[in-house]
């Protein structure tokens, strides 16, 4: 029963990240390369960190926490790093596992 609170917190955190991602995607024409790099890095880092932390606390399984957090970080980092070109994609790829 205690694990359900972590699931609710994770769903809320992920919905906030998703809402932020939709807002950034809507304004993508106004972003330059540097902003795209920072968006990819920030979203990748936060998504990986939140996922791995909220998976690790109730389960205690560090390996799976890192793996799942890195994968979710990549899922957020790569598409939004694409706004910053090739260097932004690289930032998203690096920041996702770093957050996880």
pLDDT tens digits, one per residue of 25-59: 888 788 788 888 888 888 888 888 888 888 888 88
Percent share of the chain, pLDDT over 70: 97
For residues 85-89, average pLDDT? 81
Helix (H) / strand (E) element for 11: namely: helix 3-26
Q: What is the pLDDT of the chain when averaged over all its residues?
A: 83
Q: Residue 3's pLDDT is what?
A: 66
- How far apart, in whole angstroms, are the C-alpha atoms of residue 100 and residue 35? 22
Yes or no: say if 95 and 77 are a contact pair by the CB < 8 Å rule.
yes
Q: Which of 4, 89, 13, 91 is nearest to 49 (CA)?
A: 13
């Amino acid at each position: 029963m205690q694990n359900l609170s972590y699931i609710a917190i994770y769903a809320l955190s992920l919905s906030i990240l998703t809402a932020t991602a939709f807002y950034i995607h809507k304004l993508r024409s106004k972003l330059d390369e540097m902003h795209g790099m920072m968006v990819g890095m920030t979203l990748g880092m936060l998504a990986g960190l939140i996922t791995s932390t909220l998976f690790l606390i109730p389960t205690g399984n560090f390996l799976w926490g890192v793996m799942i957090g890195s994968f979710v970080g990549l899922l957020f980092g790569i598409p939004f790093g694409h706004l910053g070109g090739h260097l932004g994609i690289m930032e998203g790829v690096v920041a996702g596992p770093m957050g996880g």
